[in-house]
Amino acid sequence: MKITLDPNSGFLTKNKKRFDKKKALYDAGIKAAVCFKEGEITPVMIRETETEERIIERGINTIISDHTSPSEQPQVSLEIVGIPKILCMILNNEHQYAADERSLRYTEVKPNEYISDLEVELYDKWLNIFIKILNHEYLDFFKKFNKGDTEEKTNKKAASAIKKIAQENARYMVSVFMPTTLTYTVPFAQINKLCLYMQRIIESPQNDFEKLLIPYLKEFIQGLKDIDVLLTEKDVYDLCPKLARNESEDLLYKNNKEIDLSLFAERNRFSGIGMPNEYGVAFSYNMEISLASLAQFHRHRTINYEMSTPSLEEEKFYIPLLLSGKEDLTKEWLNDILKVNKFYPQGKIVKVNANGPLKHLVNYVGKERACDRAFLETEDMFTNVMLPDIYEGLLKEGKTELAERLKPYINKLRCMYPDYKCPSPCGHPRIRRKF
Give the tens place of pLDDT for each residue, 98-133. Answer: 889 887 766 778 777 778 999 999 999 999 999 999
Mean pLDDT, to the nearest integer, of 276-284? Answer: 97
402 and 287: one domain?
Answer: yes
- According to the model, what pLDDT value does residue 431 have? 60
129 and 229: one domain?
Answer: no
252 and 295: one domain?
Answer: no
73 and 186: one domain?
Answer: yes
Q: Contact 65/218 with Cβ under 8 angstroms? A: no
Q: Contact 60/240 with Cβ under 8 angstroms? A: yes
In a domain, 342, yes or no: no
- According to the model, what pLDDT value does residue 90 have? 96
Domain of residue 204 covers 1-102+179-260
Q: Indicate the residue among 126, 150, 173 that finishes a domain.
A: 173
Give the tens place of pLDDT for each residue, 298-321. Answer: 888 889 999 999 999 999 999 999
* Average pLDDT of the chain, as a whole number: 93
In a domain, 334, yes or no: no
78 and 128: one domain?
Answer: no
In a domain, 37, yes or no: yes
In a domain, 152, yes or no: yes
Give the tens place of pLDDT for each residue, 156-214. Answer: 999 999 999 999 999 999 999 999 999 999 999 999 999 999 999 999 999 999 999 99
In a domain, 29, yes or no: yes
> Where are the extended beta strands (E) located within 264-380?
282-290, 304-307, 349-357
287 and 151: one domain?
Answer: no
In a domain, 340, yes or no: no
**Tally of CB atoms within 10 A around 314:** 13
377 and 401: one domain?
Answer: yes
288 and 384: one domain?
Answer: yes
Residues 6+ apart with CB under 8 A from 61: 32, 243
Domain count across the chain:
3
Give the tens place of pLDDT for each residue, 213-247. Answer: 999 999 999 999 999 999 999 999 999 999 988 88
DSSP conformation class of 277: P
In a domain, 429, yes or no: no
Q: At what angle do helices 85-92 and 208-226 cross, to 10 degrees?
A: 80
Mean pLDDT, to the nearest integer, of 253-269? Answer: 96
- According to the model, what pLDDT value does residue 106 have? 65
297 and 215: one domain?
Answer: no
93 and 240: one domain?
Answer: yes
In a domain, 431, yes or no: no
Q: Indicate the residue among 173, 193, 211 that finishes a domain.
A: 173
37 and 89: one domain?
Answer: yes
74 and 220: one domain?
Answer: yes
